[in-house]
């Protein structure tokens, strides 16, 4: 079960990903692969408490 803070963090990461995909001159496939890698690495880090 997700807590409210977890849900907001998930939505925020989606927004950041969409912005990053739109703000690049690189091919979308390359950018998407980089973003997936960054998100996977971020999932390994413990969640920060607010």
Predicted pLDDT at 26: 87
Nearest to 40, CA basis, from 13, 5, 11, 12:
13
Predicted pLDDT at 50: 47
Domain boundaries, the chain: 4-44
For the chain, what is the mean pLDDT? 77
Predicted pLDDT at 49: 53
Which range has highest mean pLDDT (11-15, 28-32, 39-43)? 28-32
Contacts for 21 with CB less than 8 Å, ≥ 6 apart? 28, 31, 32, 35
């Amino acid at each position: 079960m997700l807590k409210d803070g977890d849900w907001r963090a998930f939505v925020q990461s989606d927004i950041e990903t969409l912005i990053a995909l739109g703000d690049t001159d690189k091919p979308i496939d390359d950018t998407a692969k980089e973003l997936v890698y960054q998100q996977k690495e971020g999932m390994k880090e413990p969640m920060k408490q607010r």
